[in-house]
């Protein structure tokens, strides 16, 4: 009647896959305890870590859970405790982690009536509350793990991609605030055909490179000509961080989701450690507070 779950942070977009690609960060994430209650409905009974609304209809975990129970019509309700480690607005899928976590946990307590794709669909309803649009590029990797491609949202189709054995991610989070809705509002509605061609060529080759574990092809594919030119202006010292990461051999470096976190992909733990140090060095010389995190992608 009670379950404790871990809901991971995620990196969306992955340079060339705006709104469709994402990967899961094992080891950093929120914890949630969900328990069945005799009275129906959803109650958020505890939120620790960050100040978030505890009214179910105003909380992403609550909205996602409500979407699920509206469909499932269980003869019980659920109460949710949220222990947040992922700072809201940091760019590593904080709202998605809450939304995915609540539906994942409720599905377990109900005996798993829903598939991972259906859970992604319910969690998207929560995510929309936070970002103003229904995208699943953070939710899908949180629920499926590893790399995912959201092939379409209507109807929802998620493709699981393989992860090469020796692929590591490093994240640096400068403590400034960027709202996803604002980072979306500054993007142009239309893009030049030549940029579209570059982007879909890179996106296709990245997917292929993940399948054949070709690290150099991953490196040649992690390029973003569509979104980064606009959003990188919102992140102080972005170009310096990127240069520092590439100087240490990083395979790629880009904005994590809508920022301000910056991610790199690296081949092997040694390179990841060196890249992490080099990225830290950039912000150490400023008065911007930051933290870093690195892990193997599974």
Q: Is 180 among the residues known to form the active site?
A: yes
**Selected catalytic residue, list 79, 81, 127, 228:** 127
Per-residue contact flags (x/-) with ligand HSE for residues 127 to 166, judged by CB under 6 A: ----x---x-xx----------------------------
Q: Does residue number 15 form part of the binding site for ligand HSE (CB under 6 A)?
A: no
Q: Does residue number 221 form part of the binding site for ligand HSE (CB under 6 A)?
A: no
Q: Does residue number 258 form part of the binding site for ligand HSE (CB under 6 A)?
A: yes
Q: Does residue number 125 form part of the binding site for ligand HSE (CB under 6 A)?
A: no
> Toward ligand HSE, which CB reaches closer, 59 or 258?
258
The single residue among 9, 11, 12, 169 that binds ligand HSE, judged by CB under 6 A, is: 12
In the complex, what is the shortest distance from the CB of residue 220 to ligand HSE, in angstroms, rounded to a whole number? Answer: 22
Q: What is the DSSP string of 226-284?
A: SSHHHHGGGSTTHHHHHHHHHHTT-SEEEE-TTSS-EEEEEESHHHHHHHHHHHHHHHH
Q: Does residue number 224 form part of the binding site for ligand HSE (CB under 6 A)?
A: no
Q: Is 182 among the residues known to form the active site?
A: no
The single residue among 7, 9, 10, 13 that binds ligand HSE, judged by CB under 6 A, is: 13
How many residues touch ligand HSE under the rule CB under 6 A: the total is 13
Q: Does residue number 264 form part of the binding site for ligand HSE (CB under 6 A)?
A: no
Q: What residue ranges bind ligand HSE (CB under 6 A)?
A: 12-13, 18-19, 131, 135, 137-138, 180, 183-184, 257-258
| Residues labelled catalytic | 127, 180
């Amino acid at each position: 009647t009670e379950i404790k779950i871990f809901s991971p942070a995620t990196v969306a977009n992955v340079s060339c896959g705006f709104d469709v690609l994402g990967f899961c960060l094992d080891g950093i994430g929120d914890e949630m305890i969900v328990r069945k209650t005799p009275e129906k409905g959803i109650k958020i009974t505890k939120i620790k870590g960050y100040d978030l609304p505890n009214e179910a209809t105003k909380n992403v975990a609550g909205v996602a859970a409500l979407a699920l129970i509206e469909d499932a019509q269980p003869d019980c309700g659920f109460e949710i405790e949220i222990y947040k480690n992922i700072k809201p607005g940091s760019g590593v899928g904080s709202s998605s982690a809450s939304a995915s976590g609540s539906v994942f946990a409720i599905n377990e307590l109900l005996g798993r009536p829903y598939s991972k794709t259906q859970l992604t669909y319910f969690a998207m309803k929560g995510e929309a509350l936070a970002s103003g649009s229904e995208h699943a590029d953070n939710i899908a990797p949180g629920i499926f793990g590893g790399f995912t491609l959201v092939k379409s949202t209507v109807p929802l189709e998620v493709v699981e991609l393989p992860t090469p054995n020796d692929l590591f991610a490093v994240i640096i989070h400068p403590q400034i605030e960027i709202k996803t809705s604002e980072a979306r509002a500054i993007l142009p509605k239309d893009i030049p055909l030549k940029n579209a061609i570059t982007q879909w060529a890179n996106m296709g080759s990245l997917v292929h490179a993940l399948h054949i574990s070709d690290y150099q092809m991953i490196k040649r594919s992690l390029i973003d000509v569509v979104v980064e030119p606009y959003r990188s202006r919102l992140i102080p010292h972005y170009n310096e961080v990127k240069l520092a990461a590439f100087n240490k051999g990083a395979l790629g470096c880009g904005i994590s989701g809508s920022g301000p976190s910056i991610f790199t992909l690296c081949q092997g733990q040694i390179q990841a450690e060196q890249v992490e140090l080099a990225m830290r060095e950039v912000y150490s010389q400023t008065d911007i507070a930051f933290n870093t995190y690195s892990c193997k992608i599974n």
